[in-house]
Amino acid sequence: MDKRELLGPWLRRFLLEHVVHERNLSHNTQQSYRDTLTMLLPFVADRAEIPLDRLRVIDLSGNHIRAFLRHLEQVRKVSVSTRNQRLAAIHALARFIAEHSPQHVAWAGEVRTVPFKKTVRGLVPYLDKHEVEALLKIPDRSTVQGQRNYALLLFLYNSGARASEAANLCISDLNLDTRQPLTASVRILGKGGKVRRCPLWQKTAIELAQLVKERVPEQRVFLNRHREPLTRFGIHALIRRCVVQAGEHTPSLLAKRVGPHTLRHSTATHLLRAGVDLNTIRAWLGHVSLDTTQIYAEIDLEAKARALDRCQIPESKSPTLEPSDGLMHFLRTI
């Protein structure tokens, strides 16, 4: 069998050459593509009754892919958005193989006819300022762990950083000069290796300086109780614990699904309400496209209400009736 027919070598090239080196996709996206293929290949091999290492490219037929997607939804109970995410990885693989192997162009066309499902995009969750303040009151700042938790929550809200960006933040990425307001900043390595710099409030800079003092620049900023780098999963768990505690006094928090990305959405929404333009918010959050940032303009109900108030039609005065004598005189003059 021609080696170009086997699927295995193409998968290695796709994941190592294309995803990592050519596209420079984020680590999370690389893992998502890998996980999709880890689930897809055994499924197809079982249905086609072929040993997994002997699978050919054409064995990933449109019918097998449709069956795999049904399996995801009906057996694994994934959401439509997750189903579409898995399909996007399969489409990317088909496109890569077709670009490098003309004999597989027809196969790739068949695979890419497998459609995405329409989804209803929900409203982006964000916290109001009093809810953010309620969260920030939870950490016990008299303890080392509480000091770290407070600094982390404040940093996430200040910078709008993703959980993975905060987890990977090194002390050397911080400029904590607090001699003048708004001179402190942070260098954030975002998706796809894109670097952005965000200003830090003086308050945030002071908390971070206290957290990292007497530590070497190569260390991560946020460490767990074992003095090892805090992971993005640890950051999620930390925020959930704070939400549960804060919910006792601010019940509205318990009605929302709050995580690191919720704080990121809150940063963007509050910047927009403060009059910051969308292009600045795009750079602040590290969005590639302004279309992504546009969602915050759509969800800002407060801004919509202000706009509606400005467009409100003035209430017309009720007509007043003239005295009856004046009315009779008017009728006679017609």
Which candidate in 126, 150, 157, 296 is catalytic?
Answer: 296
In a domain, 95, yes or no: yes
Whether residues 140 and 97 fall in one domain: no
In a domain, 327, yes or no: no
Q: Catalytic: 287?
A: yes
In a domain, 147, yes or no: yes
Whether residues 164 and 299 fall in one domain: yes
Neighbours of 230 (CB within 10 A): 21
Question: Residue 51: which CATH number?
Answer: 1.10.150
Which candidate in 83, 148, 220, 261 is catalytic?
Answer: 261
Q: Catalytic: 215?
A: no
Q: Catalytic: 162?
A: yes
> Tell me, what's the pLDDT at 291?
60
Tokens of 180: 């003048």
Longest dimension (CA), the chain: 109
Tell me the residue range of the domain where 64 lies.
3-111
In a domain, 332, yes or no: no
pTM (2 d.p.): 0.67
Which candidate in 148, 264, 265, 270 is catalytic?
Answer: 264
Q: Rg for the chain (alpha carbons), in Å?
A: 28
Whether residues 192 and 268 fall in one domain: yes
Q: Catalytic: 150?
A: no
> Tell me, what's the pLDDT at 246?
96
Which candidate in 18, 148, 162, 220 is catalytic?
Answer: 162
Which candidate in 191, 232, 236, 273 is catalytic?
Answer: 191
Whether residues 152 and 258 fall in one domain: yes
Q: Phi and psi at residue 317, in whole multiples of 5°?
A: -75, 140
DSSP string, 183-244: --EEEEE-GGG-EEEEE--HHHHHHHHHHHTT--TTSBSSB-TTSSBPPHHHHHHHHHHHHH
In angstroms, the CA 90 to CA 82 distance is: 13
Residue in the block written with tokens 């969602």: 295
Residue in the block written with tokens 């994941």: 15
> Tell me, what's the pLDDT at 179?
78
Contacts of 322 (CB under 8 A, 6+ apart): 330
Whether residues 266 and 150 fall in one domain: yes
Which candidate in 18, 270, 282, 287 is catalytic?
Answer: 287
Number of domains present in the structure of the chain: 2
Long-range contacts of residues 226-229, Cβ cutoff 8 Å, at least 24 apart? 229/167, 229/168
> Tell me, what's the pLDDT at 334?
52
Whether residues 184 and 99 fall in one domain: no
In angstroms, the CA 279 to CA 121 distance is: 23
Q: Which residues of the chain have pLDDT under 50?
A: 304, 307-308, 321
181 burial via Cβ count (<10 Å: 0-12, 13-18, 19+): exposed
Q: How many residues does the structure list for the chain?
A: 334
Q: Catalytic: 264?
A: yes
Whether residues 13 and 147 fall in one domain: no
Whether residues 167 and 209 fall in one domain: yes
In angstroms, the CA 98 to CA 312 distance is: 57
